[in-house]
Structure 1
Amino acid sequence: MTGTQQTNARPTPPAGEGHQPPPAARAAGLVLAITAALAVVAMAFALPAVHSAPREVPIGAAGPQAASAQTVDMLERSGRDAFAVTFYPSRAALTRAIEDREVYGGITLPAAPGEPATLLIATGASPAVAGLLTQMGHQLGMHTGMPVTIEDLAPPTPDDPRGAGLAASALPLTLAGLLPAIALVLAFPRAPGLQFGAALASAALSGVTIAALLRYVLGSTTTNFWGVAGGLTLGVGAALLLLLGLGALFGKAGLGVGALLAVLVGNPLSGLTSAPEMLPAGWGALGQLLPQGATATVLRSAAFFDGAGSSGAVAVLVCWALTGTALLSAAALRHRKLAAR
């Protein structure tokens, strides 16, 4: 007797499928992972702000030597290491130091008793520090009985009196370097030359666009448009080339690591919303060695000081741009070797 033999055996599941956790457990793990990631992002952005305080902020004092020595001693004691005071022989020397971005501001003491002292500030260098110096000047006048007048050597624009526009540009500048890098790596994974050309074009377009928004929409800047646009182009280009090089050479892993460092480290430590000296000790200096921090310095220097004090930051950006270009070149060489095989 012949016939078909039926069995109750179930189909063998694909390899690994039987070891997967149930959907509810996977959903719970996904929710926990997202929550942890959000907590990390929140801490990265909140901790620098929470622990923001003046630490050895460079300021100056000018005037008669004896009176200046007394004032410097008072500033250092009342500031509790908030300020690092440098003595200048004259108001003109102190003014030059502020305009060259060597110090954030300072006080000029009168030559004769009864005359007012002059507090020199530069809001364009940092609205937060300018506010601290203004408060310090009022306290100094109350303690000494000496009238204090305030003069702003880099005043904010009438349309943006609090300097909010430049501070708010920190995240857009980070995204201007990050998003094109992600798009170019994913869209053209084996074309480093095309990626390089597109990155340069994207950086130039982003720099001019953000400069135009700061001037013509937000009113945060009024002078040196092309200097601001050039500085932003260099800053965005340095970050973009670095991220692009990491992605081209190491794939999605390199791009992911670079993106996390840019968002979680570079952006919070840029100092654009306050000042590097107001970040926790050591972190402000680290931020200035990263593309976002150097871009912040170049932006403020170009917008309010005609580029003064930005040479170090420009050098940092050039180094990062060259590093990214070297990574892209290494990726191109690897692709050529693989194609030759």
Structure 2
Amino acid sequence: MIAPSPTVANHHAAADHQRPVLARTAGVVLALTVALAVLTLAFALPAVKSKPHAVPIGIAGPTTVTEALQRAAPGAFAVTYYPGVAALRQAVLDRQVYGGLAVDTGGPTLLIATGGSPAVAQLLTQVGASFAQHSATPLTTEDLAPPKAGDPRGAGLAASALPITLASILPAIALVFVVGQRVWIRAAAAVLFAGLMGVTAAALLRYPLGSIDQNFWGVAAGLALGIAAALLFILGLGSLFGRTGLAIGAGLAVLIGNPLSGLTSAPEMLPAGWGTLGQLLPQGATATLLRSTAHFGGAGAESAILVLSCWAAVGTVLMATAALRRT
């Protein structure tokens, strides 16, 4: 029996070694393609499918006004009636509605709140202009939460959505790998980071960006609570389940929480049901809390604070479970 030459044997060995390398490479390429496709869909789909769904607005006037609005934009608005323009104005300032139309003997008055949502304010402006054109009466427009002089398009708050999300993911990853198994040191560091980051983000919105000009400490506290809630939850998952928990938490935040936060438009501008889901997640609640503290003195922030407190409590329970299990 003739043994194979060393050259042939080496060739077969090299081929056998190369096959798993090629398989792994193909797997990495395929996995990255799928991941980027999912990421693209997560961010683009809510924007593409965006349109008004039962946006809360107020009417102070006859029912014919509502009928005209429903004809102009079927299903776009959920209307609440108010006895007069003063009551409607207070409802907008309390964030019960995004705006509304008051019609009396003095002519129609459109109330908007750009700080609550520039997208909804623009929509109401268009609807109000159409109503005035059809009724052949001049329209008075009053912006109860106007954009700031340093940021007339309100782009600063909208652009802060992803950085706020990353502020809960990156520290969680770092603390899990750097601090080791000291769960309560991780928790203390997370709370300290959230407070510092809240003040830092508020300072950036106030000074370089000019997106806020009032209630600085309210904005900072709201941002700190939002970052702490998401960070503690992801950190709890990482403490209990390690890298798998971190991956799950980061995926939920980036692929679901951030796109559905509504900070770039409004929850009611997202596809039906998606906006409601987003408000139950830390990113959506933080977005609502940020707009409330930045433009309305904290009005309408109660539900967001409750949601964020629950997420922070869940994260704390997860970390406590991890500590007890290790003990």
Query: Normalising by structure 2, what TM-score?
Result: 0.94
The code of the aligned residue for 2:37 comes to A
Matches within 5 A, 1:180-199: 180-199=171-190
Residue 94, structure 1, aligned to residue 88, structure 2: yes
Q: Distance in 1 between matches of 2:16 and 2:215?
A: 65
Match of 1:330 in 2: 321
The code of the aligned residue for 1:107 comes to L
The alpha carbon displacement at 1:31 in A equals: 1.4
Gaps of 5+ in 2: 1-5
Q: Secondary structure at the match of 2:104?
A: coil
The code of the aligned residue for 1:185 comes to V
Q: Secondary structure at the match of 1:21?
A: helix
Q: Distance in 1 between matches of 2:43 and 2:129?
A: 32
Match of 2:274 in 1: 283
- Is the CA contact (8 Å cut-off) linking 2:60 and 2:101 kept in structure 1? yes
Residue 232, structure 1, aligned to residue 223, structure 2: yes
Q: Distance in 1 between matches of 2:197 and 2:41?
A: 28
Matches within 5 A, 1:27-176: 27-63=25-61, 68-111=62-105, 115-176=106-167
The code of the aligned residue for 2:162 comes to L
| Per-residue deviation, residues 183-221 of structure 1 (Å, max 9, x unmatched) | 001112311011011001110011000000000110000
Q: Distance in 1 between matches of 2:295 and 2:30?
A: 46
CA RMSD of aligned residues (A): 2.0
Name the % identity.
62
- Is the CA contact (8 Å cut-off) linking 2:112 and 2:121 kept in structure 1? yes
| Per-residue deviation, residues 290-316 of structure 1 (Å, max 9, x unmatched) | 000000000000000000001001000
Matches within 5 A, 1:215-254: 215-254=206-245
Q: Distance in 1 between matches of 2:23 and 2:200?
A: 46
The code of the aligned residue for 1:198 comes to A
Between the two proteins, the alignment pairs up a number of residues equal to 320
The code of the aligned residue for 1:153 comes to L
Q: Distance in 1 between matches of 2:274 and 2:18?
A: 43
Residue 315, structure 1, aligned to residue 306, structure 2: yes
Q: Distance in 2 between matches of 1:188 and 1:256?
A: 18
The alpha carbon displacement at 1:22 in A equals: 4.0
Match of 2:3 in 1: none
Gaps of 5+ in 1: 1-7, 12-16, 337-341
| Per-residue deviation, residues 115-167 of structure 1 (Å, max 9, x unmatched) | 43110000000000000000001111111112111110000101101100000
- Is the CA contact (8 Å cut-off) linking 1:189 and 1:248 kept in structure 2? no
Q: Distance in 2 between matches of 1:119 and 1:21?
A: 69
Q: Distance in 1 between matches of 2:212 and 2:223?
A: 13
Moved more, 24-33 or 44-53: 24-33
Q: Distance in 1 between matches of 2:25 and 2:312?
A: 41
The alpha carbon displacement at 1:20 in A equals: 7.7
| Per-residue deviation, residues 75-118 of structure 1 (Å, max 9, x unmatched) | 1222110011111001111011101101000011122xxx4311
Q: Distance in 1 between matches of 2:186 and 2:21?
A: 40
Q: Secondary structure at the match of 1:53?
A: coil
The alpha carbon displacement at 1:241 in A equals: 0.2
Q: Distance in 1 between matches of 2:48 and 2:120?
A: 16
Query: Which protein is bigger by CA-based radius of gyration?
Result: 1
Q: Distance in 1 between matches of 2:249 and 2:122?
A: 35
Q: Distance in 2 between matches of 1:56 and 1:326?
A: 36
The alpha carbon displacement at 1:24 in A equals: 3.1
Residue 200, structure 1, aligned to residue 191, structure 2: yes
The code of the aligned residue for 1:246 comes to L
Q: Distance in 2 between matches of 1:256 and 1:94?
A: 46
Query: Normalising by structure 1, what TM-score?
Result: 0.90
The alpha carbon displacement at 1:18 in A equals: 6.0
The alpha carbon displacement at 1:29 in A equals: 2.3
The code of the aligned residue for 1:106 comes to G
The alpha carbon displacement at 1:282 in A equals: 0.4
The alpha carbon displacement at 1:19 in A equals: 8.4
- Is the CA contact (8 Å cut-off) linking 1:185 and 1:195 kept in structure 2? yes
